[in-house]
A = this chain, B = another copy of it.
């Protein structure tokens, strides 16, 4: 049984490697490398996999999962510049893949190890990723 909580955050970012020239960044990352950043409404789905607790009927209380997501993910990234404000992306290009992996790692540290975790992250209506830790 898997349960899912959805939250959103709004961040600025650019795709960019410091060790590449501006020309190469533009060739590879296109308009996503524009120097003054752009931004997205990220939609995050956190799926937690576990057994139903026979006492409550919950896999995990979604109120608790919500607060873990708000305190450890949304609080850090919402209304922030992922490149400039967030040490989690020091030396890491904030592609949707890398953001999902960072979020998965944060959640892994904050959720009981008995739970499996999957993170689905949408960057736009057309682009999204899914990461389960493997």
- In Å, the complex CA distance between A128 and B41 comes to 14
Interface residue SS majority, chain A: mixed
- In Å, the complex CA distance between A78 and B31 comes to 9
Q: Does A115 contact B (CB under 8 A)?
A: no
* Cβ < 8 Å to B, chain A residues 31-79: 31-32, 34, 36-41, 47, 52, 55-59, 61-63, 66, 78-79
Query: What class of interface size applies to chain A in its complex with B?
Result: 35 or more
B127 touching A57, Cβ below 8 Å: no
Q: Which A residues fall within an 8 A CB radius of B?
A: 1-8, 10-13, 15, 17, 28-32, 34, 36-41, 47, 52, 55-59, 61-63, 66, 78-81, 84-85, 92-98, 100-101, 124-131
